[in-house]
Structure 1
Amino acid sequence: MQLEQTLTKLDVGVLPPDQARDLGQMGYMQWLGALPACADYLAEARRARAVARPLAPASPAVAVFCRLLSLSIQQPLRPLPMVKTAPKRRGGARARRLQL
């Protein structure tokens, strides 16, 4: 259930590369945080990648999510290339209303 919610939030279509990277990384962290403590990480990561992979060509954020999953499966004991972005103002409620 959590995987589907995460993918729904990630699958927003074409985004600039920086926004796609940020959104994909946040999606990975959300998915990871929702895993039960007793879960088999590799099995869950493979399942998530299999579900997300068909969405990746049309959504750069989902592609980033899939890439992070693939890297974590291939090299499970290495840190992932996560980039911490500087906080920035995005316009708040007014900007969200203008997007509609």
Structure 2
Amino acid sequence: MIVCSCNVLSDDDIRAAVGDSDDAIRHAKQVYGCLGCSAECGRCARTIKTIIDEALGPCAKACCAGCPHNHQVAANDETAKPADFALAAC
């Protein structure tokens, strides 16, 4: 389904951008950046946010330390292993 008619973005495009990104995508602006475009009229922003939340599933509100979307743990503590946190924090 086409979600953004200005940039011709489908819901599959948005889900792929969220899934393929190394960073946690939380906002429509980030999706546009990943897909190499920018917001035009903005009418699709709410729908894009809904798709982002669905694509992230339980990570939509806040990633736990072991979540693959949360890269801050590894950046802040070089000795920390995200897999170790996944068992303890999730």
Asked if these proteins are the same fold (TM beyond 0.5), I'd say no
Q: TM-score, normalised by structure 1?
A: 0.31
The structure whose RCO (Cα within 8 Å, separation 6+) is larger is 1
Q: TM-score, normalised by structure 2?
A: 0.34
